[in-house]
Amino acid sequence: MKLLIKFFAEITIKTTPVRKRFVKQLKVNLRSLLAEIDPALRVHGAWDSLEIEGVQTENLAAALDCLQRTPGISQIQEVHEYPLTDLPTLADLCVQHLGAQLAGKVFAVRCKRVGRHPFSSPEVASYLGSQLFERCGAAGISLSAPEVRAEVEIRHERVFLIQARHAGMGGFPLGTMEPVLSLMSGGFDSTVASYQLLQRGLLPHFIFFNMGGRAHEIGVRQIAHHLWRQYAGSHRLRFISVPFEEVVGELIRNVDDSQMGVVLKRMMLRAADRVAHQLGFQALVTGEAIAQVASQTLPNLAVIDRAVDRLVLRPLITTSKQTIIAQARQIGVEAMCSSIPEYCGVISVSPAIYTTHGRVAEAEAQFDFSVLERAVDKARYTDCHLLDQPLEGIDELELVSSAQPGQVVIDIRAPDERENSPLQLEGVEVRAIPFYELKASFAELDPARVYLLYCDKGLMSQMHAQHLLDAGFGHVRVLRPSN
C-alpha cells in the first residue's frame, strides 16, 4: 500500500520557486511526523504530489490520522501501484483491488493520465468500465450519478489504483510563514484563532495571562498541548505564562470600571509585545470578533491597537460565536474550552462600548506600570511538548456542599457581582475577598480555621483554591451548595 499526498489548491497556483519551497517544507514536516509512527516510512516526490511508501497494514490508520491533521494537505489517497503493461492486465488489477466495491452498485470509471500513451483517457475508462461490469456483479454504469467511482491514474509508465480518498485539513505547510505570538486564554475564541493560524502555515507560540492561579494554567496548558500535538508536532512551539493577578488587582483599584476592559486588553498587548520583541516575532494574534463583547467594538479595538506598534492579527474578526464553537468541536477542544472561565469579562460590570484614546490615557495615568513590568519579568517559558507533564505539588482539591461549625466562607466574586446577588448563609461567617486580592490576603487569615471559597459557577473558586493549596495552605476548600 502506498499513500499519495495531494497539495492544498492554493499551493499549486504559487510561482515555481514558492511552490517548490512549500512542497519541500511539507516533505520535511511529514518525515518528522511519520518517523514517530514508523521510521521505515519513506516520503518522496516534488511537483505534483508526494508519495509515502512502506505503509504497513498495522500502521495505516495511524499514518492516515497524522496526515489528516497536517497543514498543507488537501487529500490523501490510498493507492496500489503497478507498472503499466497493457489494458487487459490493468483490467485484471482493477477487478482484484476494486471489484469488491462495485458488487450490486452503479459505478463509473474515472481515468487520469500523464505522459504519452497509445490510448486516451476516455478509451481506458470505457474499456475498464465494460470489464468491471461483466466481471464484478455491478448493478450498472452511470457517468453522471454513480454510487461508486473506480479511479485510475496513469503516470507515464506507472499505474495507480485508488482504493480510498481521505480529506486533509488544507492550508499551508507549517514553517512556510513566520512565527507569531498568540494570546491564549483557553476559551473558544483564542483557541480557534490559534488553530486557524496553524492552518495557514504560521507558527503560533502561546502567551497566557494567568488571572486564576495554577489551576487555571493547568487547563490552558492542556489546550495548548492539544493544539501543538494534533496539528503542529513537527515544530517546536513555546508556551509563555505571565502572572497577571497583580495587574488585575492594580486595574480594579485604580482604573474606572467603564475603562477596565479596554485597559486590560492594552496591558495584555503591551506584555505580549515585549515578549514578541524578545523572541523576534513580528505579529500578535487575538481571538477577538467584532462586537462580541464591549471591548470588541470598532472604536474600542482601535484604541486597544494603539497600545503597541506591532501588527495585531484577528482571524475571527467577523466570525459568529456559533461558528467558532462548531470549529472548536471539530478540532477536539470544545469540552476543554467550555471549562475555562472568562476572566476578562469578570472585572468590569459596566464597560464602555465607545471609548476614546484620551479617556483611556487618563485612566492609565493612575496605573502603576511597574506592576506590569514585574509580571513580564516573571514569565515562565515552556516547550509545548512538555505541557502534558503534571505540575509538581498539586494536592487533591476538596469540594463541600455546606459549611461546618467554625468554618469561614470567602466570597471571591467581584464587588459588583456580590451587590447584584448577595450570598446569604444563615449561621455561617462570610467574608468578602475578591479573587484578585485573595493571594495577598489569605496569608493574613487565621491558619487554625478552615476557609471555603465561593463563586457563582464554582470554576473560579476551584482554581483559586488549587492555587492556595499549591502555595502550601492546606486549610482551604471549595463551597458548592447543592441547591
pLDDT, one tens digit per residue, over 261-319 is: 899 999 999 999 999 999 999 999 999 999 888 778 898 999 999 999 999 999 999 99
Helix axes 459-470, 213-231, angle to 10 degrees: 100
Match 515578549 to its residue by C-alpha cell.
Answer: 275
pLDDT, one tens digit per residue, over 109-168 is: 999 988 899 999 999 999 999 999 989 989 999 998 999 999 998 988 989 999 889 999
User: Phi/psi of residue 467, each to 5°?
Assistant: -60, -40
Q: Is 438 annotated as a binding residue?
A: no
Q: Which residues have C-beta within 8 Å of that of residue 347, sequence separation ≥ 6?
A: 248, 251, 252, 260, 261, 264, 414, 436
Overall average pLDDT of the 457-462 stretch: 67
Mean pLDDT (the chain) is: 88
Match 482601535 to its residue by C-alpha cell.
Answer: 302
Q: Is 296 annotated as a binding residue?
A: yes
Max intra-chain CA distance, the chain: 95
**Percent of the chain whose predicted confidence (pLDDT) is above 90:** 55
Domains and CATH numbers, the chain: 2-167 (3.30.2130.30), 179-386 (3.40.50.620), 399-479 (3.40.250.10)
Q: What is the dihedral of CA 248, 252, 257, 262, to 10 degrees?
A: -20
Q: Is 321 annotated as a binding residue?
A: no
Q: Which residues have C-beta within 8 Å of that of residue 61, sequence separation ≥ 6?
A: none
Q: 217: pLDDT confidence band, cut at 50, 70 and 90?
A: confident
Q: Is 184 annotated as a binding residue?
A: yes
Is residue 346 over pLDDT 60? no
3-state class (DSSP) for residue 357: helix
What's the 3-state SS for 391-402? CCCCCCCCEECC
Q: Distance (Å, rounded) from C-alpha 127 to C-alpha 95? A: 13
Q: Which residues have C-beta within 8 Å of that of residue 416, sequence separation ≥ 6?
A: 257, 349, 350
Q: Distance (Å, rounded) from C-alpha 157 to C-alpha 118? A: 12
What pLDDT was estimated at residue 393? 45
Q: How many helices (H) and strands (E) does the chain have?
A: 17, 19
Active-site positions read 455
3-state class (DSSP) for residue 358: helix
Residue 336 contacts residue 222 (beta carbons within 8 Å): yes
Overall average pLDDT of the 177-199 stretch: 94
Integer CA distances (angstroms), 326 to 67, 231, 318, 458, in order:
22, 18, 15, 25
User: Phi/psi of residue 331, each to 5°?
Assistant: -95, 5
Least confident of 43-47, 229-233, 239-243, 454-458: 454-458
Residue 408 contacts residue 476 (beta carbons within 8 Å): no
Residue 38 contacts residue 54 (beta carbons within 8 Å): yes
Better pLDDT: 94 or 417? 94
Q: Is 267 annotated as a binding residue?
A: no
What is the separation of C-alpha 450 from the centre of its chain, rounded to a whole number of angstroms?
39
Q: Distance (Å, rounded) from C-alpha 158 to C-alpha 211? A: 60
3-state class (DSSP) for residue 78: strand
Under DSSP, the state recorded for 404 is P
What pLDDT was estimated at residue 294? 75
What pLDDT was estimated at residue 140? 92
Helix axes 260-279, 357-364, angle to 10 degrees: 80
What pLDDT was estimated at residue 186? 87
What pLDDT was estimated at residue 135? 92
3-state class (DSSP) for residue 325: helix
What would the DSSP string read from start to end of 33-87? HHTTT-TT-EEEE-SSEEEEE---HHHHHHHHHHHHTSTTEEEEEEEEEEE---H
